[in-house]
């Protein structure tokens, strides 16, 4: 089942329990995928995109 709900910085921040500015910083530093859509200049991601991204970010890094 896929979730096609679009999330803004605010929804992402609420989902992971951080401030909106923290999510913006994640994007600035390349820790987030590109937005799935941009509406009125605002980036939006599908909930599934963010969930998959969080799995990738939380995996231990191999050295």
How confident is the prediction for the chain on average, in pLDDT?
86
Mean pLDDT computed over 33-47: 96
Q: 18 pLDDT exceeds 60? A: yes
Structure tokens at 21: 């500015």
pLDDT of residue 9 exceeding 80, the answer is: yes
Instruction: Please state which of the four CATH numbers 1.20.58.480, 3.65.10.10, 1.10.1660.10, 2.30.110.10 is assigned to the domain occupying 6-58.
Output: 1.10.1660.10
Q: Would the pTM of this model clear 0.75, i.e. be above it?
A: yes
Q: In what order do the strands lie in the sheet with 42-46?
A: 6-7, 42-46, 37-39
In the chain, domain spans? 6-58
């Amino acid at each position: 089942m896929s979730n096609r709900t679009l999330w803004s910085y605010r929804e992402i921040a609420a989902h992971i329990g951080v401030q909106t500015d923290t999510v913006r910083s994640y994007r600035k530093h390349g820790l987030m995928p590109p937005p799935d859509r941009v509406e009125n200049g605002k980036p939006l991601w599908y909930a599934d995109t963010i969930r998959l991204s969080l799995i990738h970010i939380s995996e231990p890094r191999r050295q």
